[in-house]
Each structure stands twice: as C-alpha cells, then as structure tokens.
Structure 1
Amino acid sequence: MLIKKLNVPLVFLALPLIVLYFCIFTPNLTLWFCFFAFLFLLFYRKYWKIFPILFVFGLYFSIVHVQSEKLEHTPIATLTSVIPISDTIQVNGDLLSFQALSHHRKFQVYYQIKSKQEQQFYKTLSKNVILDVDATLESPEIKRNFNGFDDRAFLLSQNIGQIVTLQKIKKITDLRPQLFDLRLLRRRAIVFIQKHFKAPESNYMTGLLFGFLGKDFGEMTDLYTRLGIIHLFALSGMQVNFFIAGFRKILLRLGMTKEKVGILQLPFSLSYAFLTGLSVSVIRALLQKNIRLKGMDNVSATLILILILMPKSMLSIGGQLTLFYAFVIQMIAPKVERLGKIKQSLVYALALSFLVLPVLIFDFHVFQPFSILLTFAFSFLFDVLLLPLLLLSFLFSFLGIILPIHALFNGLEAVIHGIDQIIHYPLVFGSIGSWTFLLLLILAGLLIDFWKNKNFRLCLFILISLCYLSCKIPLHPSITMMDVGQGDSIFLQDQWNRQNILIDTGGKVSFKQKSEWQKSICSSNAENTLIPALQAKGVSQIDHLILTHTDDDHVGDFVTLADKIKIKEVCVTPGELTCPDFIKKLKQARVLIHVLKVGDKIPIFDSSLDVLSNGYTRHGDNNDSVITYGNFYGTHFLFTGDLEKKGELELLKQYPTLKVDVLKAGHHGSKTSSAPEFINAIQPKIALISVGKNNRYGHPNQETLVTFKKYHVAVFRTDQHGAIALTNRLKQWQMTTVK
C-alpha cells in the first residue's frame, strides 16, 4: 500500500536498494558510483519520495553490519558446552562437523571422532542434545591467495564469528523436544533416508527433497560443479512449484475452496522452508509464489523482503545468483511468451547462461559452455522424472515398500561420468575487476534489448568479447609464491599468457594410516588454494610444471592439478624416476614427461629459466631438488626446492660467483637450509619462505631468520603475508601480498 501511495514502480526502489546494501557491506568505488547514478536517475524521474526509504534501509543495513563487525571483533575466550543445530550434522569418516549454539551465538564446530561406535552415534543422532566439552576457539581464516576464498567472510554471512575445535566430549545430555521443531524433523528425515536407502539414491533423495548433500557425495558434487549443473541441487523454483502445486491439487480435490487453500498455503510454505534448511533460494521462490504481484513488481518485492528478513543472505553466492536469475527471467519473459514450451525453455537456458555469465565468472572465474544444453536436458529429467520418483519412493518406504529405482541413479552417474570425459575442462576467464563487471552487465542488458538490430548486436558482441579477453590475458609479467600452507608452489606467468611455468603443486603430508571407518572424503589442498588462484589468473594451461622432488608437500596435489588444468609437460629429475609412488602419480596424470638436464633453458619473460641442477643424490629427496635460476628484467631469482646445506655448498662449488636478488628459501626456512656461508656468498636482498601457519615443524626456524637478519635479507612469509606476488611494470618489480 505504501508503494502504491508513492506511485513509484517497485524496481526503482529495489535496484538502488541492493546497490546501497553492497555499498555498506562490501564498499568500493564502483558501487558508490552506481548508487549515486541511481540517485540521479530517481531525482531526474522525480521519485524524490524514495529517498527517505533508502535512508531508513541504509540505517538498517548499517546496524546489521555493525553487529556483524562486533561478532568478529568480540570473540569468546572459552566454551564449556554447545548445542548442535541438528540438521547441520555431517559425519565424514572420523571427522564430525556441525553448527552449534552457545552464549547466544552460533559457531562452526569440528571434532575428530575417537571410535567406530562414536561415529555411528553421530550418524544416527536425531534428537536435540547439549554437549559438555573441552574446546579451543579460533577466528576463521581470511583469504590466503589473490582472489581466493575468504572463509571468514563466508562464515560471517551465516552469523558465525568463530570456529570451535572439540578436544573432548565429556557428557551428552538430551534436551526436551520442542513443539513443531521442523529442523529436528528434517534431521530425522535425513537419518531415515541414509539408513533405509543406499547411495547414490540416498544422496539424490536428501538433496532434492530436503536440500542436504552428504560428504559422501563429494566426487559427484565435483563432477556436477565442473559441468556447470550443480545448481540443479539448489532447491528453488522447481521444487517449490512442484510441492505447492501438489499441495493445492490435493486440497482442491478434497473439496476445499480456493480461498481456504490460499490461507493454508502460507503455513505450508513456511514449513517447507524449514524442512529444506531455510536456504535463500527456497525463501525467494516461496515469497514469489505467495506475493500477489506480477512481473518485475513481484521480483522487486521479493528482493526487498529478503533484504529485511535475511539481510546477510545477499553476501552469499547462492543468494546473489537466485535473485539475479529471478530478475533475468522477468526481464526476458515478455520476449518469449508467444513461443512454445520447449522453445521457451531453450531460450531461457541460453539467455540465463549468457546474462548470468559475468556473475559466475566474477565469483568462480570459469564457465562450462555446454552447461547451457546440460541444464536444459537435466532440468527436465530432474523435474519430470527424478523428483516425483524420489518423493514416491520416500513415502512408500514408510509402508515398508522400497521402489526398485536404485539402478536409475547408477545409470545417471555413469552418464555424468561419460559426459565429463568428453568435456572435462571448462573455459577459464580469470578474475573480473569491478568496473569490467559493471560494463559487462550493461552490455549484456543492451544486447537483449537490441537483439534484432544486427549491426548493434555485432558491436556489442565485440565489446563483450574484449571485456572477457581483458580478464583472460595478463598485461604484466608476474612471479607469485602461492600460499598452499605447509608446502611449495611458485607460478611464473608471462604477459599475454605466452608462457606459464609452475614450480611444485603443494600437497598434504600423511603421517599415519587410518582404518577404513576413519577415512574421510576430503578435497585436496590444491582445490582450495592453488587451483582457484591459477584460474583467477586466467590460466587454462600450464606449459611447464617443474616438480622439484618427491615430497608430498611439493608434489602431493600433482594428480589433482592435472585433473583440473591442462598440463603441457611435467619436468622431473632422474632421481624422482627411482621412486615408485611418484611414478604412480605420473601414470595417473597421463601427461608428457620431460627429464631435466643441467643447462636446460625454458624461455620466459625477457630471458629464460635455467636449470642449474637436476639433483645431487639421485634419490628424489631434498638434496635432489631441481634448482632453477633466472635473470628477469635485471633481477636475479633463485628457486631451490627443499635444498639443504649440503646441496647449497655443492651448488656454490659449481657456481662460485652466483649472485641472487630474490631467493626462494630452501625447505620452508628450516635450519637444515639457508646456511650462513651460502647466504653470505649469494647475497640475496629478499627471501621468500613458503610455510604453513602454526605448522608442526616450527618452520621457519629461528636460526634461519637470524641468518637472514645478519645479512640484511628482507623476509616475506606465506604464513604471515599470504600469497606473495612480484609484478613487473615498466621493467620494475613491484611486490604485493594478500595480507
């Protein structure tokens, strides 16, 4: 009623409102420019009455933001008890994770399960309990690599300010069940499905009916993500339409009037929202279904209500995408309303993929072009076949009847694997700057509006292509020490992507064998650090991957990297080829192998990366590390792998006049490397140390740091600075760090 009195289209309130929202929560110059542009437009259209509303919302967003900052900057020191949020419990081998409440706050909790019996207890836990615990608390990590994932921002968007690691669970006490506890009901449904149905059917059932994908679905989650169709599991319009339409049909068949059905639809919608985990995509679809407005007014009202009811939801990628999809659908709806259903679906799939592409690349840096056709085909399969079958199978199971549809899901996964083999690698675009992102959105909108004008359409296509190329192609040479934790990975990228060299991949070191029940399905370290960082740089192919030696913290993620990014050739030493486990990795990766020789030169930048040593021991160990050297734009770089003192002295014998400006310190700053006589001889100005935060080895060693200080060497460490980049602009190297 208020908006009707103002006589202003809702979209003129919704759009400046969402821009104001991001100005407050994630401020930058581009956003403020957009907001003031909207204010000018509102002033020009004489919609002055909107200004006080924007002011009130701005005040509201500011209060929410201040509360979020308070959550981050006022941590709790100790916890003695936690109440798990029942439907967030995940058991993955001997790893237990859940969200919990304590001290009127929400926490992300982790615990290492001690026995198989304890594992089974948490797998089947379907009641509310309170845990008396011994626990440690820490703040979530901020991003570690350029354009990397920011765990702290992600958790804060869910009102979580701290991570809790349980050392011991001392006592478990049942809590009195609450009336109409729909989250507990959701947990019981998930436990029931996991108990009575086998994987993969159980995963599709919990995913499509209750919005829950277990950790054991990890490999398929990766495949669906790579093919660009993981959104089929994000409950939204498809499932909401299916369940609400079914709910209305049943009640109408029972003889209820439309008015009574309309009244009952709202509590049903709320119940469904809780049963599916209160995801923003479901809330968005339910609001659209229940708001009695049409077209763009419906979407605009939905956005405004979500900003009021779930103000932090728009900080998540899921929240941004679901609202953006809704706006795009309404924008193109008038242009396709006269088409048949199949043509409509195809046009929607094409238009959505094209218009949402800037958002996807801004967040993920990659795009699978075949996802357009796959979404069109699999949306029909999921909507028309799988969802009804799964619902029937779930309901019949309460009568003791299990429908024989398990083979269907095995067949579906076989098809997904087959498609992935054909179109394995997505297109890599790289990171998009905020101004480029804004320009792409404007150009995409203009392309839809002026599609019938051939000349204008061609010009827009050219401009859009140039925007994407500007993200893909680096304008300046760079050398980046990636933050891969306790490991090594250094990336050399020539301008225009003429040559890409990667030295080592990082990886996790395993210290003990686990029993079968303890084995968890975990993503590799590279999937969270190295691979997204390379994709953000627009890297679709690595020309030369140099694996310095066989330690897992240098080559452990080699196979995973080869699976995600094309590798033209891998460069190894003769000593590495004596190690059976390493040879197994080479066979798994199926890439061209080049055995390095002393004197080999790999052209890059204005010179080449030279191989000074291909190993001294021929055993693939630390002193068998590949040593490479380059004089790039007048600055001398030395990369030493895990070379120790004995190897360093051997290197000095071979190259007594070796001079270095930037040294990649050997063995993560261990006292077994960076010998004083070696540092004194090469006289580096800068030492780069790749080392994990609070690592168990105590790297870098204090002796090594004293040595660097003695010889006036500036030290930069990944545990303190995050990723470290040296970028050459106008033939001058400039250093930047993430932290």
Structure 2
Amino acid sequence: MFYLTLAYLIGILFLYHRYMAVCLLLLLIFILYRKQVRSLIIVGCLILPLISGSYFHYQDKRYQQAYSSQLLHPELQGRATFTDQAMHNGTALRGHVSINDNSYSYHYFLKQPNKIPPLTPGTQCEVKGELKYLSDSPYSPQYFFIKDINLNSCDVNIKASLSLIERHKNFIYQQISHTHLEHPGRIIALVSGDTSYLSEQEVLEVKNLGIYHLIAVSGSHIAIICSITYALLLRLNVPLFYIKLSLLFLLPIYGLYTDLAPSALRSIFTVMLVILIPSRFYHHALDIVGASFILLTLIFPHFLFDIGFQFSYLITLFILLSQPLLDQTPIIKSLLYMTFIAQIGSFLISAIHFNEVQWIGLFANLIFVPFYSIILFPLAIFYFAWLHLKIPLNLLDHFINMMFHVHDYIVRWILQFSHFKWFIPQLNEILLTLLLIVLFSILYFFVAQRFITTFVISIGLFLILQFFPAHHANRLTMLNVGQGDAFLVESIKGQTLMIDTGGKHLRPGEVDKHQISKYHILPTFKKRNITSLDYLIITHPHADHMGELDYLLTQIKVKHLILNPHSYTPQQLKHLTQRLSHWKGNVIDFRQIPQLNFDEYQLRLLDATHDTSEDLNEHCIITLMQFRNKQLLFMGDATVKNEETLLQQYQLPPIDILKVGHHGIKTSSSQAFIDAIHPRVSLISAGKNNRYHLPNKEVEDRLNDNQSAILTTVENGEITLDLEASIETMLKPWKIYEPLKSSE
C-alpha cells in the first residue's frame, strides 16, 4: 500500500514541485525493481499518478475560481447564528458564526467599545460584512469581518439554532468559566484544539518554542485518549471487541468536537483503519498511514495545503521509518531520538512555509512532550470529564494552576535563549529537492547509528543553508504594510537599511497584535535571510510609520536607529535607547550624520523639518539616496511646507524613484515640487479601501502629467525594484512602461 501512496503523492507533487516529483518517481522505480513486487502493484503505481494529478488539477481550478469570485464579491449578508461565547478584547468581538449553512470565525469592531451587544450562543441576527481569506492561498480559511449587526432583528433559540456538539461546547465553557482556574482557555485548547480562548501572548510563546503542536490536537492526543479508554474499559472487564466498537464510536465524535482539525483526523483515521483492517492485509504501519492519507485528501482535498496536516504526516513518516532503531532503544533514549527525528521531519515544511527553523524546539520538546503527555493532557481530560458532574473541586483547580505556573516558568526560561534566529532563505525547486534528499540521508545514517556521519551532514546542512542560498542584491522593496510606510534597501554585500516600519492606529483599549510585522515584514526578512538591520530610519513618530518598531526590536537586531529627537518626549527616547541597548545598538540624531554611505549607496538626510509645528508630519526626515546613476527620494509624510523648504535649501537632482509623500494625500506632492524633481517612477504605500481614499486623484494626475510611472501597494502588494536594472526593465514585472525614454 505504501508504494501506491508514493505513486499517488507523485501525481500531486508534479503539479506543484516537479523536480521533487521526478526524484520520488526515480526512487519508486528503484524500490519496485529491487523488491520485485507483483504486477498488479506496478500497474497501480503507473495509474495512480495520473488519477491523483488529474483530480487535484480539477480541484485546484475549482478552488481558484471560488477564490477569484470571492475577491471580486467579498460582501456577505444574511441571518447569522452566533455559535459560541464571544471573546471581547476591548474594542472588538470575535468568535464563531454560522451563516448560509457555512461556519466562519468572525471579527466585529465595536462601534461603542463600552457597549457590548448580547451575542450569547444561539443568538440569531441579521448581519452584513465581508469575507476575507487569511492569506493569498485559495485554500486558506476565510474570516468574516462583520460591519453591521441589526440588534433589533436578534432572537435566541439555542435548541433550534445550535447543534448538540455546539451546545455541549458552550456548556463546558460556562462550567469552566465559574471555576478557580487561572487559565481555563488552556484546558479547552488541550481537549478540543480550540485556541481562540488563549491570549495572543500565550499562543506566541508556544509557537516561538516550537511546541504549538502540543496544544493543537495531534497524534499524541489521540494516542492518550485511546490509551485511557482502552485501559478503563479493560479494567471493567469489557471484551476487546466492544472496546474496539467503543473507539470506533468515540473517535469520529471527537473529530467533530475538534471541528474536523486535519491533524486530528489524520490520527483518528489511522486508528480506525488499524481497528477495521485485519493485520494480515498490511505489512507495515506505513501501509495504514498511506491509506489514511489517500482517503483524507480525496474526501477533504484542501487538507493537502494545511500546514498542520503536512507536519503531521511527514513527521509520522520519519518516525515510522526510524522504527528499527526505536524498537531496540530504552524509553528515555528513545524520547531523545524521537525528538531529533521529529525535528528532521518538520524541517522541510518549516523551510517552505515559514523560512525559519525553530531550533530551540529540539530542546523544548524534550521537556514539554513528556510534561504534556504525562501531566497536562491527562489532567485536562480528567477535568473535562469532571465538569459534567457540576461538583466544584477546588483542590484540583489549585493543582492545575500550579502545574501551569511550572509550565510558564520553564517557557520563560527557555525563551531567553531564543534570540538567535535560524532563517532559511527562499529555496528554489532544485534546492528544495536536494534538501529533501539530504534530510532522508540524515535519517538513514541516524537509524543506522552512524552518529558522527549524521552530525557532519547536519552541520554541513546548517552551514550551506545559512550562507549559500541567500541571494543578496541591490534592490528596493516597498513592503505591503497597508495604510503606512515601510521600505527596505539591500546591498549586494548583504547590508540593509529600512525606512519606517509601518503600523496601525489603535482604537482606545485596542491591543496591538503586530499582524503587520508577523505577516508582511518578517516573512520577507526570513525569505532573504535578513536577521539584522544596519540602519533603521524613523521619519516621524506616527503609528503608521513606527507602530511596529517595538515588536521588530524583539525579533531583529538593529545596529543604528536614526530619528529626529525633537519629535519625541524624553521618556520615549529613553525607552528606545533601552530597547536598542539589548542589541548593543544606538540611537542617532539625523542631524549628526547628514551624509551616510553603505556599499554603493550614498545617503543624504535632508533637514526640511519644522520642529516647532504641532503637526508631526512636518518633522519628517527626508532621505535622498544615490545608487550609481539613480537618484531616490523618500519623502515620509512631508507636507507642502516641507517641500517648499526643501526646494529653497537644497539643489535637488532629477529623481528616478520617488516615495510619494504621505501616501498620496493632496496636502503633499504639490505641482511645483513634482515639476521640480520630475520623478520617473513614483511609489505610493497605502491600504486597500482605506478610509482616506488614498492615493488622491489630484496627486496621481500631477504625477501622470509629469509622465511618472506609478506603483502602489493598493494594486500590486509588495513591490521590489532591481536597482541595477534600467527603469524600463525595472517596471516590466508590473506591465508598466515608462512614458519617457530612459536616458541610461
């Protein structure tokens, strides 16, 4: 069966990773030749790639069409059922909602933060909003952003509107919220995999340690549930046949309880197949795992693109291939081995999706896998069962609180060592295929107990990935940070300069989750193996230009922070100085370094500020940058007044690339200024559907009149320009061609 699974996978990979598919095809041919398998298996291996490739090609087109349609028509309205207790974070509500026979996570910004609508489970209301994908993938989950709730239309009918499982979940939530537990959301997460009741900080910490899989339902959870059920029923002298029937009944229900979490279903399907299929029909556990993979991806094709699903199967594959070693190893040493094997198994998925390897997880899992498996998860299962009795058990509450205190102490202690980041640059198809081969080679030598060879190859892999694939270039990137500014300049020698960090204006009481850094800045840094910034210029202290600074300073080393100190209070400057001292960096007044050189770039920090103005936009640092024969001008949020001062005090050259001031608002980029600098390319950073309707049409008209090619994040997302290329070549990826002939 495993050979057929490999053939099935080859057909899928041929659609997305052809080099990898060819590599696995050659491996399959070699195995079939060496094993001398039956003709029927060979025929199956020839047919299955065609079937799986055709099936997923059809599914891909179907999902792409739905994705395109949704982007064009994101509006959604109708009668919605709120299926759980809404979580309130000060300015918004979030939870789960069912509308038009579909279920979504929702987010609703409160129009009056102190007035919370009574959206109890089972409440039905008329709502309006928009559906948005969480990423650029058509397979990613959709999120419902509710814009309006007609409270006059609401009514509550729990029995009619909620399923039995939803009612039970709400019963558990009500029961657990009246206990003395300090972290009730952790019990819910451990039992159901629902992390929505955890704080952002809790989720971030376990992710940074590489142990997030322990709070998301996975194979270890299913194994413990099966073990507890089996031991309990066996203790009650229940015959084995009825124990198996009980598991076949309980596991699908538990799968529904986890909202059909892909990693949970992988384990559930595998256990059910083991129970249902007699052992004489399969030769190895790999056959069962392979069968579950085929069944699940045929029933739920979108699972194939779920990261947890990919982690689950690849790690399971590596562990099963290591069985000859693990079977003859004492339990403590076996745990050490399995942690290392799991790290190897997760390496490829981490490199592809996150461009980062959580190396610290190798050590964290040694501590937390037994801690969760032996203590926390059994405690959570017992506590979950006890809640049904509605009998307070304060002693158990205090014991669980104590265990979580120990947990948090260890987490904080290990996090001290997590400052070293192992970023994996973006790997092409060939390098990904070679990486897969190297990982299997490491596994082969490890299972053969050739540990020195394993160590040498592992160190070699680290050094190669750290230095070889990083493609440094002279380029400018306008990061897609929405309604804000963040620009990255890189040199061919790997030096970096950033101008502003982006950020968002927070509503009163709103907590910044730093989604801009997490999803729009750091992913680009990781792909390019940027672990530090040589220079970071903050043009002025507005949230949309420096809101992400604090968070970035926890993730990236900044050597020199350049700003206008007249725009900050002494307390703000002290805070920034302290944050920089962690990296042994320093804060510099831009007036102290009017000129700055790095590699082939020459920078002039122009002082056209109006420091006495109450408008902080008029405090902006303006940066004139020269790269070879190209001139770049970054205006920040400078106003017309700053532009007038700039033209009076400096003799500006014709500008090749202009960062248009203040996101294209009409109080910047005056006709006189644009006529004076005559920009050939104009970059505008603004958010989609922003409330200011930027860029302003008047500004675009001025730029068009000067025959300037306009690129915006609104239309193009993140934009990277190759500064070594001619202007015409630079613009080709966006199918924009400069109206004027280049003088280069």
Please report the TM-score for the alignment, with normalisation by the length of structure 1. 0.87
Following superposition, the deviation at residue 612 of structure 1 comes to 2.4
Distance in 1 (alpha carbons) for counterparts of 2:682 and 2:543 = 23
- 2:135 maps to 151
Distance in 2 (alpha carbons) for counterparts of 1:179 and 1:731 = 61
Match of 2:711 among 704, 708, 716: 716
Following superposition, the deviation at residue 86 of structure 1 comes to 2.7
Following superposition, the deviation at residue 121 of structure 1 comes to 4.0
Match of 2:637 among 637, 642, 661: 642
- 1:295 maps to 285
Following superposition, the deviation at residue 244 of structure 1 comes to 1.0
- 1:689 maps to 684
Match of 1:506 among 502, 509, 524: 502
Following superposition, the deviation at residue 321 of structure 1 comes to 0.7
Instruction: Sort the Cα spacing of 1:21 and 1:92 in 2 relative to 1 into closer, same or farther, 3 A.
Output: farther
Which moved further from structure 2: 441-450 or 43-52?
Answer: 43-52
How many residue pairs match? The answer is: 706
Counterpart amino acid of 1:433?
A: N
What are the equivalent positions in structure 2 for 1:176-191 lying under 5 Å apart?
A: 176-177=159-160, 181-191=164-174
- Give ranges in structure 1 of 5+ residues lacking alignment: 1-9, 141-149
Distance in 2 (alpha carbons) for counterparts of 1:246 and 1:273 = 17
- 1:615 maps to 609
Distance in 1 (alpha carbons) for counterparts of 2:676 and 2:162 = 75
Instruction: Sort the Cα spacing of 1:730 and 1:621 in 2 relative to 1 into closer, same or farther, 3 A.
Output: closer
Equivalent pair of 2:125/2:150 in contact (CA under 8 Å): no
Following superposition, the deviation at residue 695 of structure 1 comes to 1.2
CA offsets per residue over residues 227-260 of structure 1, 9 Å max, x none? 2222211211221111111111111122211122
CA offsets per residue over residues 622-672 of structure 1, 9 Å max, x none? 222111122213211111211111111211222224221111111111111
Distance in 1 (alpha carbons) for counterparts of 2:451 and 2:386 = 56
Following superposition, the deviation at residue 554 of structure 1 comes to 0.6
Indicate yes or no: 2:65 matched with 1:96: no
Instruction: Sort the Cα spacing of 1:696 and 1:594 in 2 relative to 1 into closer, same or farther, 3 A.
Output: same
What are the equivalent positions in structure 2 for 1:340-739 lying under 5 Å apart?
A: 340-397=330-387, 398-402=390-394, 403=396, 404-405=398-399, 406-451=401-446, 460-461=457-458, 464-465=461-462, 467-469=464-466, 473-497=470-494, 499-510=495-506, 512-514=507-509, 519=510, 522-578=513-569, 581=572, 584-588=575-579, 590=581, 591-597=585-591, 600-613=594-607, 615-617=609-611, 621-728=616-723, 734-735=730-731
What are the equivalent positions in structure 2 for 1:90-129 lying under 5 Å apart?
A: 90-113=87-110, 119=116, 121-122=118-119, 125-126=120-121, 128-129=122-123
Instruction: Sort the Cα spacing of 1:82 and 1:326 in 2 relative to 1 into closer, same or farther, 3 A.
Output: farther
- 1:12 maps to 3
Instruction: Sort the Cα spacing of 1:73 and 1:696 in 2 relative to 1 into closer, same or farther, 3 A.
Output: closer
Distance in 2 (alpha carbons) for counterparts of 1:179 and 1:545 = 52
Following superposition, the deviation at residue 30 of structure 1 comes to 3.8
- 1:130 maps to 124
Distance in 2 (alpha carbons) for counterparts of 1:152 and 1:187 = 33
Indicate yes or no: 2:176 matched with 1:205: no
Distance in 1 (alpha carbons) for counterparts of 2:628 and 2:168 = 65
Distance in 1 (alpha carbons) for counterparts of 2:424 and 2:734 = 21
Indicate yes or no: 2:323 matched with 1:333: yes
Following superposition, the deviation at residue 616 of structure 1 comes to 3.8
Counterpart amino acid of 2:424?
A: F
Equivalent pair of 2:601/2:626 in contact (CA under 8 Å): yes
- 2:738 maps to none
Which moved further from structure 2: 375-384 or 643-652?
Answer: 643-652
CA offsets per residue over residues 266-296 of structure 1, 9 Å max, x none? 1111122222332111111122223235422
Instruction: Sort the Cα spacing of 1:525 and 1:462 in 2 relative to 1 into closer, same or farther, 3 A.
Output: closer
Equivalent pair of 2:11/2:50 in contact (CA under 8 Å): no
Counterpart amino acid of 2:546?
A: V
Which moved further from structure 2: 168-177 or 86-95?
Answer: 86-95
- Local SS of the residue matching 2:408: helix
The structure with higher relative contact order (CA 8 Å, sep 6+) is 1
Following superposition, the deviation at residue 472 of structure 1 comes to 5.8
Following superposition, the deviation at residue 263 of structure 1 comes to 1.9
Counterpart amino acid of 1:190?
A: Y
Instruction: Sort the Cα spacing of 1:720 and 1:215 in 2 relative to 1 into closer, same or farther, 3 A.
Output: farther
Instruction: Sort the Cα spacing of 1:215 and 1:488 in 2 relative to 1 into closer, same or farther, 3 A.
Output: farther
- 1:307 maps to 297
Instruction: Sort the Cα spacing of 1:683 and 1:198 in 2 relative to 1 into closer, same or farther, 3 A.
Output: same
Equivalent pair of 2:610/2:618 in contact (CA under 8 Å): yes
Distance in 1 (alpha carbons) for counterparts of 2:205 and 2:598 = 34
Instruction: Sort the Cα spacing of 1:32 and 1:347 in 2 relative to 1 into closer, same or farther, 3 A.
Output: closer
- Local SS of the residue matching 1:151: coil
Which moved further from structure 2: 42-51 or 535-544?
Answer: 42-51
- Local SS of the residue matching 1:269: helix
Equivalent pair of 2:357/2:422 in contact (CA under 8 Å): yes
Instruction: Sort the Cα spacing of 1:60 and 1:87 in 2 relative to 1 into closer, same or farther, 3 A.
Output: farther
Distance in 2 (alpha carbons) for counterparts of 1:117 and 1:606 = 54
- 1:324 maps to 314
Counterpart amino acid of 2:259?
A: G
Equivalent pair of 1:485/1:718 in contact (CA under 8 Å): yes
Following superposition, the deviation at residue 717 of structure 1 comes to 0.7
Counterpart amino acid of 2:60?
A: H
Equivalent pair of 2:627/2:723 in contact (CA under 8 Å): no
What are the equivalent positions in structure 2 for 1:258-273 lying under 5 Å apart?
A: 258-273=240-255
Distance in 2 (alpha carbons) for counterparts of 1:138 and 1:390 = 34
Following superposition, the deviation at residue 471 of structure 1 comes to 6.5
- Give ranges in structure 2 of 5+ residues lacking alignment: 275-281, 736-744
Distance in 2 (alpha carbons) for counterparts of 1:444 and 1:260 = 42
- Local SS of the residue matching 1:228: coil
Equivalent pair of 2:640/2:670 in contact (CA under 8 Å): yes
Identity percentage of aligned residues: 21
Instruction: Sort the Cα spacing of 1:665 and 1:79 in 2 relative to 1 into closer, same or farther, 3 A.
Output: closer
Distance in 2 (alpha carbons) for counterparts of 1:445 and 1:483 = 37
Counterpart amino acid of 2:540?
A: H
Counterpart amino acid of 1:184?
A: R
Equivalent pair of 1:644/1:672 in contact (CA under 8 Å): yes
- Local SS of the residue matching 1:391: helix
Instruction: Sort the Cα spacing of 1:305 and 1:77 in 2 relative to 1 into closer, same or farther, 3 A.
Output: closer
Instruction: Sort the Cα spacing of 1:15 and 1:184 in 2 relative to 1 into closer, same or farther, 3 A.
Output: farther
Equivalent pair of 1:722/1:737 in contact (CA under 8 Å): no
Equivalent pair of 1:599/1:612 in contact (CA under 8 Å): no
CA offsets per residue over residues 119-142 of structure 1, 9 Å max, x none? 4844xx34x453323x133553xx
Following superposition, the deviation at residue 535 of structure 1 comes to 2.2
Instruction: Sort the Cα spacing of 1:295 and 1:77 in 2 relative to 1 into closer, same or farther, 3 A.
Output: closer
Distance in 2 (alpha carbons) for counterparts of 1:366 and 1:279 = 24
Please report the TM-score for the alignment, with normalisation by the length of structure 2. 0.87
Counterpart amino acid of 2:636?
A: G
Following superposition, the deviation at residue 465 of structure 1 comes to 3.9
Q: Alpha carbon RMSD of aligned pairs, Å?
A: 3.2
Following superposition, the deviation at residue 70 of structure 1 comes to 4.3
Match of 1:174 among 137, 148, 157: 157
- Local SS of the residue matching 1:715: strand
Indicate yes or no: 2:229 matched with 1:247: yes
Distance in 1 (alpha carbons) for counterparts of 2:53 and 2:145 = 30
Distance in 2 (alpha carbons) for counterparts of 1:114 and 1:731 = 49
- Local SS of the residue matching 2:504: coil
Equivalent pair of 1:668/1:691 in contact (CA under 8 Å): yes
Equivalent pair of 1:524/1:560 in contact (CA under 8 Å): no
Which moved further from structure 2: 166-175 or 472-481?
Answer: 166-175
